């Protein structure tokens, strides 16, 4: 007879889900989930504490590495990084939100294909620079933006960074997913291939992603114009009713 498999240790996942839904402290939620999992697996208390300590020691430098760029970005924002970015993009007459994001999509995808995935990102590029520049280009052309339009620009800025990174890094031969596919095909199906060949086959997909998302960004300027016309018409009607 085979060994009986117990699912009680999976209670730790439920603890994490409930804790995050209730917005408790993430560190406290993870620690409690680890303790619950250990108790459900009939581990001694000393072993549970030992495993938690090992995990803390192995990752103690990770928060420090992540917090340094965030602190620098926060300091720059406090001293007017967003305002500087908006003022700079407003000086370029031909700049529009769609064109700006298309250029960023190309740069993000090209640099990710070379393995430079850390040059972009939401906290260090999209929030402090890309989204304010897209908003500044739209405000230069249309004036004050409604909330829905502003949030749409921010969402498209974040999506542009995601698309460029996701499809660009698949071309980089040392990317982890390419090594994983190489090992999987070799071990599971006995298919002998080179990581370089897998990376090369990512180029057509990356080009299609650039064209598809680039078309969406090209249509973004038309969307902005329609929404601003609607907002202007609505504002005119409200002024007429007020009078």
Please, what sign has the CA dihedral across residues 22, 26, 32, 34?
Answer: positive
Segment 69-89 shows an average pLDDT of 68
Is a pLDDT exceeding 90 seen at residue 213? yes
CA atoms of 102 and 211, how far apart (whole Å): 10
Domain boundaries, the chain: 8-60, 72-242
Is a pLDDT exceeding 60 seen at residue 240? yes
Segment 4-22 shows an average pLDDT of 83
pLDDT band at 1 (very low <50, low <70, confident <90, very high): very low
Q: pTM higher than 0.85, yes or no?
A: no
CA atoms of 162 and 109, how far apart (whole Å): 9
Contact partners, residue 46, CB within 8 Å, separation at least 6:
none
CA atoms of 229 and 19, how far apart (whole Å): 44
The more confidently predicted of residues 120 and 92 is: 120
Contact 217, 105 (CB under 8 A): yes
Please report the pLDDT score of residue 59 as a whole number: 61
The CA–CA distances, whole Å, from 47 to 35, 53, 54, 56, 241 equal 10, 10, 10, 14, 72
Segment 22-38 shows an average pLDDT of 86
Q: What is the mean pLDDT of the chain?
A: 81
What digits encode the pLDDT tens for the residues 135-191?
A: 888 888 888 888 889 999 999 999 999 999 999 988 887 767 777 777 777 667 677
Highest mean pLDDT, choosing among 63-77, 108-122, 166-180: 108-122
């Amino acid at each position: 007879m085979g060994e009986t498999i117990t699912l009680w240790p999976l209670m730790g996942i439920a603890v994490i889900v409930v804790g995050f839904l209730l917005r408790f402290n993430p560190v406290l939620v993870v620690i409690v989930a680890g303790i619950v999992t250990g108790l459900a697996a009939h581990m001694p208390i000393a072993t549970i504490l030992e495993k938690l300590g090992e995990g803390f020691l192995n990752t103690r430098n990770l928060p420090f590495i992540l917090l340094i760029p965030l602190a620098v970005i926060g300091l720059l924002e406090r001293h007017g990084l967003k305002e500087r970015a908006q003022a700079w993009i407003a000086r370029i007459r031909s700049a529009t939100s769609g064109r700006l994001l298309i250029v960023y999509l190309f740069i993000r995808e090209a640099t990710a294909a070379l393995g430079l995935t850390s040059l972009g990102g939401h906290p260090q590029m999209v929030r402090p620079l890309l989204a304010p520049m897209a908003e500044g280009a739209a405000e230069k052309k249309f004036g004050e933006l409604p909330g829905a339009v502003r949030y749409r620009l921010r969402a498209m800025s974040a999506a542009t960074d995601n698309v460029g990174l996701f499809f660009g890094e698949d071309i980089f031969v040392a990317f982890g997913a390419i090594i994983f596919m190489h090992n999987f095909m070799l071990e599971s199906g006995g298919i002998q291939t080179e990581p370089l060949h897998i990376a090369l086959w990512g180029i057509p997909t990356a080009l299609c992603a650039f064209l598809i998302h680039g078309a969406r960004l090209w249509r973004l300027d038309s969307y902005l114009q329609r929404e601003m016309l609607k907002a202007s018409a609505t504002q005119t009607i409200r002024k007429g009713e007020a009078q």
